[in-house]
Amino acid sequence: MIKSYILPIMSLLASSDLIAQTSYPNSRKSDQVDDYHGVKVADPYRWLEDDNSAETKAWVEAQNKVTFDYLNKIPYRAQMKKRLEDLANYPKYSAPNRKGDYFYFYKNDGLQNQAVLYRQKGLDAVPELVMDPNKLSAEGTTQLAVFNLSKDGRYAVWGISKGGSDWRTLYVRDMATNKDLTDSIEWVKVSGAEWQGNGFYYSRYPAPEAGKELSSKNENHQVWYHTIGTSQDKDELVYEDKANPQRFHFLSTSEDERFAYLSISDRGKGFDGNALYYRDSKSGDNRFKPIVAEVGKYSYSPVDNEGDKILLSTNDGAENNKVVLFDPASPAKSNWKVIIPEAKEPIQGVGTAGGRLYVSYLKDVASRVYEHDYAGKLIREIKLPGIGTVGGFGGLQDDKYFFYTYTSFTFPPTIYKYEIATGTSSVFRRPEVAFNPEDYETKQVFYTSKDGTKIPMFIVHKKGLKLDGNNPTMLYAYGGFNISMQPSFSSTLIPWIEQGAVYAVANLRGGSEYGESWHEAGMLQKKQNVFDDFIAAGEYLIKEKYTSKQRLAIRGGSNGGLLVGAVANQRPDLFKVAIPQVGVMDMLRFHKFTIGWNWIAEYGSSDSAADFKNLYAYSPLHNLKAGVNYPATLITTADHDDRVVPAHSFKYAAMLQAMHKGANPVMIRIDTNSGHGASNMAKALEGIADIYCFTFTNMNFTPKFTGGGVGNGKKGF
């Protein structure tokens, strides 16, 4: 057992000194005022929207200096980062995917900035390197964002993202020689790459104005077809809709490449569903024909084709989703045949492999998977190790087996091999992480929100935790866009909970935990339900003596950053620390940048008088009040975030610093050469270390570290 030691009391004094000495750069106020349906709204920091201006760049530099000067004074910052690195330093594998004679998989040796792509000829062969993204940039911030093999496995289209941007550049590789061809396709966004014949489909936008690549509004999403071995200017325009410039157009193909499916969505006009068209390469007719001709409320996704018929997953007439069979010879909805009917639990996904359907459900936020034949007959339930999350139930039609991954909060992602004929699962690869999962427990509770709705929440902590109201607690949530917060493992959680701290994940309305009704109860005019659910989660943790107001932190990213900002405004007294990450903070102007218009279906738009009133009531930027003692706040964003542009966080930080009154520090941490998520492993670990250090410091809590960074000396898994 490695002997642990306690940091000296001077670290507590340092925390007080940090708080007392905080001062902020000056943020110039302009006289910008906008008229929204007769309401005058000031926007004094509009100038911060110009991320290329010298003034904005100087502001960013000044803010980062204050923030990093503060963080550098935290005595245990280096130890926290070292602990995170030690725990993350284990081999991480993806599940193998077969194509022809080869199995392809990703592996990170431990602390590599990017996972490396390998393949091997058979499961027992020696792996060979396919692609190492770490060599694509000096900092390791260029990511392999796309990799898709042709049907015969001879060619691969692969794409990169630089510095965390959502823009992609695509290339083509000859897998027989593992050498690239001359092909290069630019300005790809919101797109995969789908093979058919001697080329592939992709979606892109027209090239943006120079200097505004990361902020200008993206419009006119086009589908193109690229023939391998040709230049991009020879590509065929397959589909565009200039009359509806804020629509997404995405084309996918069936495994046998017979069908091409064109999905059209228009969330900019408030539609949550999509239209779906198909093109049958065997018919001799090159036109796209409608399965569902108009964009509307419901969603339709192709699952597979059974000959000339098409299996679809849809919520049309089934809030929790169902699987139907579409026959092009009798296309009317009244002729659609139900294969998998709607159930009490929402369907989360439908995969295929070996001529079987694998339907995953969510029951109280935990995965359940069932195997069916293509006629819908139930074959078996797939037994899982416990309450957790699975992924990867799918493969090729001639597969005899495939691989899936199971994980939970204290269960590292474990890869299982599934034999289709027998329905048996066996461990294929289990990671070795330097912690003992038996030292921790996860419980699920159901607490009551403001309107009486029962909300589930996972709580993770050390076994034997004393409920004395004194435990540092991090409350995390998302609450939107039909996305569920399911149990999953991250080694970055361990340095938090091993300190005797609590980690809680609240499954707020707005997600998909209980189907579309759960989603709709937390969107548009009902968005306040999400904030009420989050506040009630904090009150529950305090009431049940997990923590106190002085030891409770809230954290969330993107839509979750909006959540944290809104709730910190509404109940600044309830939380000691707030961590809004890459948040949507200006709810009146979000739709004016990059693909922000895509969120109108979820939030509404300030262009509508009714929506404006609702948005204005909770917009984090517009509901800060002068003279309020807000929680200690660390806002995080990055210079290459072209999804939620950093102007949201810039303006919010400037306004918060102007309005805040009290000893709690309110700061912004602006990462460089990174995007909506960290662009490499090093940046991810540095960011988490700073969040933990900022949080512990402002809770007046001193973490204890073990020498060598091996925790309790035990090795699990």
Is residue 688 within 8 A of residue 657, CB to CB? The reply is: no
Q: Which of 220, 227, 223 minimizes the C-alpha distance to 238? A: 223
CA distance 715 to 410: 13
- C-alpha pair distances (Å), 164 with each of 553, 599, 679: 27, 20, 5
Per-residue DSSP letter, 646: T
Task: List the one residue out of 412, 423, 354, 352 whose CA is nearest residue 388.
Answer: 412
b/e map 317-346, b = 16+ CB within 10 Å: ebbbbbbbbbeeeeeeeeebeebbebbebb
Q: Which amino acid is at 62?
A: A
| Radius of gyration of the chain, Cα coordinates, nearest whole angstrom | 26
Dihedral of the alpha carbons of 647, 649, 652, 658, in degrees to the nearest 10: -100
Contact 359/368 with Cβ under 8 angstroms?
no
Structure token pair of residue 229: 């071995």
d(CA 210, CA 219): 16
Alpha-carbon gap, residue 536 to 599, rounded angstroms: 26
| Short-list 601, 558, 543, CA closest to 246 | 601
Q: What residues are paired with 249 via a beta bridge? A: 264
**What's the half-sphere exposure (Cβ side, CA atoms, 13 Å) at 609?**
3
Contact 479, 560 (CB under 8 A): yes
Q: How far apart are CA 535 and CA 523, in angstroms?
A: 17
H-helix or E-strand spanning residue 225? strand 222-227
Q: The tokens of 698 are what?
A: 């402002």
- CA-closest candidate to residue 120, choices 102, 143, 98: 102
Integer Cα distance of 598 and 592 in angstroms: 10
Backbone φ/ψ region at 140: left (φ over 0), alpha (ψ -120 to 50), beta = left
Distance from C-alpha of 301 to C-alpha of 347, rounded to nearest angstrom:
13
As beta bridge partners, residue 280 has: 259
- DSSP per residue, 249-289: EEEEE-TTS-EEEEEEE-GGGT--SEEEEEEETTSS--S-E
Distance CA 277, CA 265 (A): 12
Determine contact, residues 156/175, Cβ cutoff 8 Å. yes
Q: For tokens 């022809």, name the residue.
A: 100
Evaluate whether 528 touches 508 at the Cβ level (below 8 Å). Answer: no
SS3 call for 493: helix
Residue type, 477: A
Angle between helices 559-570 and 609-618 (to 10 degrees): 70
Closest CA to 381 of 354, 358, 347: 358
Contact 327, 309 (CB under 8 A): yes
Q: Are the beta carbons of 558 and 582 closer than 8 angstroms? A: yes
Provide the annotated active-site residues: 558, 676
- Distance CA(333)–CA(354), nearest Å, equals 28
- In angstroms, the CA 553 to CA 572 distance is 11
